[in-house]
Structure 1
Amino acid sequence: MSNNNKKIVSSPELATLSYTTPERLVQDFACRGIVILSPDSLDIPLETHERIYQQEKQAMNDRKPITPSSIPDVLTVINSPGLVRACDQLVGKNWAIVPFTHNASFTSGSNDQHWHKDDNGPYNSRKQRHHQSIQIEMLYYPQAVREDMGPTATIPYSHYWTFNHEEDHDNFAGADHLDFNYQLSRMEAQPVSGPNSKYEIEDIVNRRTEHDIRMKSAVTDLNWPLVDSLEAAPLRAGSIVLYSHNTFHRGNHRRDDWETWKDNPRFMWRFWLYRTNEPPIRIRESNEKSVPSVDWPSLGIDPLTGVDLSSVDDDLTAVWNYHYHWIHTGKGQPSTNGTAGENEVERKKKVDLLANQITKKGNSAEPARIGAAYRLANMDDTNLAIEALGQALYNERESVRRAATYGLAAAGPSATEFLLAAAQSQIKWVRKASIYALGDASHLNESVLEVIINCLENDPSVYVRSVAAGALGCLGRRAAGTNDGQSLIPQCLEALIQSLEREENRLAMDRAQQRSIKFVRPTDDCDVCEGNGIDFGRDRFKPVRSAVRENVLWSMVILCSQGAEVIENILEPTIKTLKTVIETDENVICVGFAMDALARLANIQSTSENIPMVNQLKKDLVNILKSSPIHSWEALVRSGLSREALAEFEAKA
């Protein structure tokens, strides 16, 4: 029955959700994967948010694009002292923003999205998911958000668990779907509220529609510990939600009077942030106190979600402990899963129990599998643990291999020897997992570099080559942060530059296969989803993509963030290569990354001022950037360009 002639009375303003305090920021992010920053914590004038909101409303009414370049006050939010402090803690200094990736305003309305984890690469391209705090999402709300205004729905505590996505073609594209049939049945296209809804007003307001029930059941049917849906509201104007890029979430329908939507739109800006620097070295110095452990059960009721943590088990706390310590130190906690004093039989029995747990079947067993892998990684008998994790990596089931992969990454450098051998396996999935784990945990040395460069140059799998490209950035980042292997960073860059000379863009899969990106399939030329074809209506660009080229340039952003001194004799070809991409590449995502990398070379490291080539780059930068018809302001402002410089640049362009 249509509700066209009925009115919904908006709910009164309620107390806001529990905002995250600075002292609990890392702790809460490590366990639940989502934190909320208050407007006051940003340390910018509160009237900034109202100004942004009014400018958005005007642009929407005038049917004009809403982007950071058209509403530059958004850049003030991105570089606000409070947000920078929080993100520095979670993803390190000089964090970057993925360019041209939905970095604009979203409005809520009559329809729901399905539950999903966002594509880990731009526009539905698939990229290896990091458990470590490498990539997070930022949601910014310039206006107050009531509970009935379609607040973003999330599933806290879901960010370490997922479903098969390498051999399950429901998840071939970049996003991981919780209920893919919701899309297949076209429920996503049906309005839940508004003038065309089939539902009664009372059912909409009280969350009793078929859509609401379907969304709720999708979460409860998981049978994962602690998970339940959380709608991000009520929020004050200027609030920011930060969550792991692996958190399940969805867009939500409004439940208030649809006739008020035009005058009272709910806007949300979304940005993808990623790490370019390791956690601070000072915490790893010998004279520093060790990071105190968290007694998770003693935390009791989580103030944001209301979840009772008093009964969390060892599988959960093993994962949380690792990431809590990693965000602080760049490595996992010291071993607490000890076998010292136990005889060989007892140690083997303990390992075998966890090894069997990794092979549990069913989606509901995902936390048990992942938990067992992290518990093995934390054992002091590393040889036995890595042997068990290594056997799991060769298991025929992807869910078991996934747990083993994250366990081997959590084991750190002690797993390097095994991973180097596994990276040369005849099995594609084993090679891919091993290269990823080397990138996330090993030290940069000659042996590691040789194996990864060989995969980047010669592996027949596009997916494996793309992961190898990303691994070089992670290894170089770690080498610069720890000063262990830093002299090899120029070789990483040289390999990346050579890869750009070999790899080519391809017509995007949705265009080539003439179907939605959600339903594309691997081809003889490419075994990974490279994402939608996008050109932003500019003749310069074509609807082409390349997973390898884009990951190469993602890594170059990371390495260029370390400064020209680190790059040494590869500086000139690096500048030349990035300049060529900016001026000639038909893939707009590649161009966005290249602009960011080049701007970082020019702006971020103040000690580069005495290098003539860098000084010349600073003089030439604006003219180089002008060769592209569009620019990602949000990425460039994080690369060190000021708002004033951007405005001057746009005027010259």
Structure 2
Amino acid sequence: ENIVKEYTSRGLILLGPETLGVPPKLHESIFRQEVEAYRAKERITAEVIPDILQITNAPGVREACETLLGENYAIVPFTHNTPFMSGSNDQHWHKDDNGPYNMRKQRHHQAVQLEMLYYPQAVKADMGPTATVPYSQYWTFNHEENHDNFAGADHLDFGYQINGMERVPISGKNSEYSLEDIVNQETAHDKRMRKAVSDLDWPHCQPFEVGPLAAGSVVLYSHNLLHRGNHRRDDWRTWKENPRFMWRFWLFRTTEPKRSETFLPTKWQGSQEDVLTRQSLESIHADTTAVWDYQFRWMRQGEQQVAGASSSDETKNVADLALQLRLKGDSNEPARIGAAYRLARHTARRQAISELARALHDDRENVRRAALYGLISVGVDASPVLLDAVDSPARWVRKAAAFGLGSAGAMTIQVVKALGERLLNDDSTYVRSVAADALGCLGRRIVAYSSNPQALMSKCADLLLQSLTQEVNRLSMDRAQQRSIKMVRPHDDCDVCEGIGFDYGQARYEPVRSVVRENALWAMVILASHGADKFGDELNHVVLAMQHVIEQDKNVFSVGLAMDVLERLASIHTNNRDVKVQHLQQLIKGVFAKTPIYSLEALVASGMSIEFAASEYARRSLTMT
């Protein structure tokens, strides 16, 4: 209950090394290998340091992640799962892109994506501990019309990037600041960072540095939390011999929450302060608790127990909440979102849903977005509204409705077909990509709640496979436009950021991306997490399609996702007597040989054993077992 409550509210969890269930020497070994690899200028991955797999799969890590994301969660392959170092410069505040390397995905309020940070060495308070803004995960900014936020991430104070402050060293031998100001965090950079957060005026949101930390600490935080890389404040002459490394992994949900048999409603009021951040929690607004309460119940009881629940404690009438939903300015973001959640649980249900439906078609992005989250918390009763909106002439409304149908739509063939129409025929790349992702979310819910999951799952898979035959990779936007990914803009073929292109130095790959293909494969990972038997006659087509991607696709992210699909089909909920599964298990090794590089952390999360992954695909052996 505590870890869910803290994650639901604060959005950040700290796991001490003593909770992981691995020997302390493992952290020392990883750090030593990392120093050697860094000095040898190797690209540091689990292939180079397979011992990291014993961290991502540590008993304490798996228990915490399964509590937050459910069983069989996945790790995004070939993405930011590489070490980060602290040095002389800061990043600006941002919420990470939800797809690999600045690919834009719609943000879930539900616990669907989180980030895992691992520190193999101790992190002192002056060694550049990760800077975060706890309690910021539910509030964000316009990215549809505001092109400062076009490139995947949502930015706070983008001017820090534009005017060059991000490139100016704060500490180190080239810093122009006094040592006193650096140590006391009184530089112009420090002050600007604090002011950016305080100017938001969001409830309980204050900067928090995650440190000091013992060697082997793990931090789990919402993918939607404001954070940034932080500069070091210790003696720069010691940095080379005393590096601060951090590994980062992106995790996502593939199963629905299970109903807790011991569930007790939580009380948000009454706490004196946050035990981790020391943030005062004496007074929490009803707008905030409405959001926290829904998310807590969803994680502990699942959709069917929380959707449709009304609150007799609501003190505002529907008309007043509808006005609140349309307040202007970033500082009123919590009020808008809170109004939407309060409408969703209002006892005047029909009137409240009608107001949310009207707001979904509003001219302003922040009103539409708040209404969308409200309709999702309404649950399947919002299906008629979303089915109507998914055919809107306005692409932003179609996009929102498609996302809502995946997260809360009725588990019916009508909803599946509506999403399929958007996936296969919509003119907007963004809408098609959201429809692909929505089919994965819908499939996850179908398995949990439908009485006949196989027929609907097979149809979802069929639509996703059709999409793969239609969509093509494009040269990544940063390469095509010859500018930083943070400065790229939409063009005639794509109205959403597809992210940075990578070939990782391999002739097999090219710096190409496709947001729709990648989201379709992401959705297939979700579907594959429920067993090969759920696909029925479609299984053969799925295997052949994934094999084709692995053998032919030039997009490394698509290949990694397709590998996860096959590994999950062969490893999770399998019937080893099934001839099709036996054939797949025999096929995989040969198919996987078609790629020169591997995302081992993702494959192990998909069911491959650590020992097999290390012996077959790693460049070094495990040093500890």
Give TM-score scaled by structure 1 length: 0.93
Please list, as runs of the form range in 1=range in 2, the aligned pairs for 1:594-633 lying within 5 A after superposition: 594-606=562-574, 608-633=575-600
1:610 counterpart SS class: coil
Q: Which amino acid aligns with 1:177?
A: H
* Structure 2 residue runs without a partner (length 5+): 621-625
| Cα shift readout 1:100-155 (whole Å, capped 9, x = no counterpart) | 11111111011100000011111111110101000000000111111100000000
Q: Name the residue aligned to 1:299.
A: 271
CA distance in 1, matches of 2:589, 2:599: 14
The partner residue of 1:584 within 545, 552, 559 is 552
Distance 1:189 1:79 in 2: 37
Q: Is the 8 A contact 1:472 1:555 kept in 2?
A: yes
Report the AA paired with residue 570 of structure 2: A
Contact 1:444 1:485 in 2 (8 A): no
CA distance in 1, matches of 2:98, 2:76: 10
Amino acid at match of 2:556: V
Deviation string for 1:284-342 (max 9, x for gaps)? Answer: xxxx45x32111112221101111212101100000000001111222366343399xx
Q: Among residues 555, 562, 571, which one is paired with 2:523 in the alignment?
A: 555
Displacement of 1:180: 0.3
For 1:276-355, list aligned pairs within 5 A.
Answer: 276-280=254-258, 282-283=259-260, 288=261, 291-331=263-303, 332=306, 335-338=309-312, 350-355=317-322
CA contact (8 A) 2:8 2:295 kept: yes
CA contact (8 A) 1:339 1:381 kept: no
Distance 1:547 1:573, change over 3 A: same
CA contact (8 A) 2:50 2:618 kept: no
- CA deviation profile, 1:451-482 (whole Å, cap 9, x unmatched): 11111111100000000000000010111122
Partner of 1:505: 473
Instruction: Give the drift of 1:361.
Output: 0.4
Q: Could you tell me how far apart the structure 2 residues matched to 1:378 and 1:325 are?
A: 13
**Contact preservation (8 Å) 2:361, 2:368:** yes
Superimposed CA distance per residue, residues 526-574 of structure 1 (whole angstroms, 9 cap, x where no aligned partner): 1101111211111111111111000000000000110011111110010
- 2:623 is matched with none
Post-superposition shift, 1:442?
2.0
| Aligned equivalent of 1:105, options 83, 90, 109 | 83
Cα distance in 1 between the residues matched to 2:212 and 2:50:
26
When the two chains are superposed, the root-mean-square deviation of aligned CA atoms in Å is 1.5
Among residues 157, 175, 192, which one is paired with 2:153 in the alignment?
Answer: 175
Shift of 1:651: 7.2
Is the contact between residue 321 and residue 333 of structure 1 (CA under 8 Å) also seen in structure 2?
no
1:222 equivalent to 2:220? Answer: no
Q: SS of the residue aligned with 1:35?
A: strand
Alignment of 1:61-100 (within 5 A): 61-100=39-78
How far apart, in 1, do the equivalents of 2:132 and 2:20 lie? 23
Give how far 1:503 is off.
Answer: 0.7
| Letter of the structure 1 residue corresponding to residue 517 of structure 2 | R
**Cα drift, residue 69 of structure 1:** 1.2
Deviations 1:199-251 (A, max 9, x none): 11000000011110111111111111110000000111111110000000000
Q: Hey, what's the Cα distance between the residues in 2 that align with 1:418 and 1:62?
A: 57
CA distance in 2, matches of 1:315, 1:651: 49
In structure 2, the partner of 1:642 is: 609
Aligned counterpart, 2:378: 411
Structure 1 residue 443 corresponds to structure 2 residue 417: no
Partner Cα distance (1:520, 1:210) in 2: 28
Overall identity of the aligned pairs, in % = 54
Q: Residue 517 of structure 1 is aligned with which of 464, 481, 485?
A: 485
Query: What does residue range 25-40 of structure 1 map to in structure 2 within 5 Å?
Result: 25-40=3-18
Alignment of 1:19-418 (within 5 A): 23-280=1-258, 282-283=259-260, 288=261, 291-331=263-303, 332=306, 335-338=309-312, 350-418=317-385
Distance 1:338 1:170 in 2: 41
The counterpart of 2:446, out of the listed 456, 459, 479, is: 479
Q: Residue 630 of structure 1 aligns to a residue in which SS?
A: coil
Contact 1:390 1:418 in 2 (8 A): yes
Q: 5+ unaligned residues in a row in structure 1: which ranges?
A: 1-22, 341-346
1:455-466 to structure 2, matched below 5 A, reads 455-466=422-433
- Counterpart of 1:75 in 2: which secondary structure? helix
Paired residues of 1:443 and 1:484 also in contact (CA < 8 A):
no
Aligned residues between the structures = 617
* Mapped contact 1:296–1:310 kept (Cα < 8 A): no
Q: Does 1:535 align with 2:503?
A: yes
Once the two structures are superposed, residues 241-286 of structure 1 have per-residue CA deviations (whole angstroms, 9 ceiling, x without a partner) of 1000000000000000011111111110000000011112x53xxx
Residue 483 of structure 1 and its aligned partner are, at CA, apart by: 3.5
Q: Which residue of 2 aligns with 1:546?
A: 514
Q: Distance in 2 between matches of 1:648 and 1:252?
A: 37
Bigger shift: residues 465-474 or 479-488 = 479-488
